[in-house]
A and B are shown apart, each in its own frame.
Chain A
């Protein structure tokens, strides 16, 4: 028996089943809103050891990287805030990264 014919007859006799749309199981509002951090230091900067384990790299001064919120504090620790002057005048405070 011709199976192809049979299958066509069968499909034409039976009502079409509604197609089930598969939905994602993840909740809709699960996108992490990252914080934009810009480098203002004339150097390539690499920050490792952030709480999330992610490594962040700023290629040059002016580069912007999106940082996880939980890592921002760790990243900004790179900025040096000191009141004492090390040598030859001037404080040794230095800002490497800033939140945009």
Chain B
């Protein structure tokens, strides 16, 4: 039942009753590749375009997907009254998920900080050695929230590293699960000011 009294006056921006369910698709690519829109006509950097040297990796089956902000917050305290303001700084954005599909190994070696995969006849070989901290990735997360009109929202992380120790759970009667995958969206100076960490793009012809 709509509010009949107590309605704010003036310019009121209401929300759409659109609810998004489920995880987005997950794609990632070496950040040395140029983004699909680099930038677009509105100055936004987003989307992926796979090349021979820098293909886009698609992940098949995953769970427990989440995206979270990581901030450093310090209050401005005035002892006579209390906290009067807050100074915030974004450290990074954290994207977490657990992966059930582990093949081919070439698709997951960046996630577990593995080395260059070798594919020979009937074999695929993945080395696990010291970590190369100089490789970063774009991560692209599109989600179609209307299957009829194909309206979608996408998040493009411009410069991510896969951090945090992973665990492969090998449970009887259940699938192997590569858990603890965490991508940190770090500050990128290759994009426009205000988009250092990520861009969120929504396409909706009927609503926008």
Contact with A along B141-185 (1 / 0, CB 8 A): 000000000000000000000000000000000000000000000
Say yes or no: A40 contacts B104, CB within 8 Å.
no
Say yes or no: A62 contacts B121, CB within 8 Å.
no
The contact of B60 among A43, A48, A62, A87, by CB within 8 Å, is A87
B120 / chain A contacts, CB cutoff of 8 Å: 45-48
The interface size of chain A toward B, counting residues with CB under 8 Å, comes to 21
Say yes or no: A43 contacts B116, CB within 8 Å.
yes
Say yes or no: B119 contacts A41, CB within 8 Å.
yes
Say yes or no: B106 contacts A42, CB within 8 Å.
yes
Check: B73 CB closer than 8 A to any chain A CB.
Answer: no
Count the A-B residue pairs with Cβ separation under 8 angstroms: how many? 57
A82 CB to nearest chain B CB (Å): 13
Check: B26 CB closer than 8 A to any chain A CB.
Answer: no
The contact of A47 among B53, B55, B57, B121, by CB within 8 Å, is B121
List B residues 90-120 near A (Cβ within 8 Å): 100-101, 104-106, 116-120
The chain B residue sitting closest to A59, CB to CB, is B116
Which B residues have a C-beta under 8 Å from some C-beta of A?
52-55, 57-58, 60-61, 100-101, 104-106, 116-121, 124
Closest 10 CB pairs of A and B: A88-B61, A62-B53, A43-B117, A46-B120, A43-B106, A44-B118, A43-B119, A62-B52, A88-B60, A45-B119
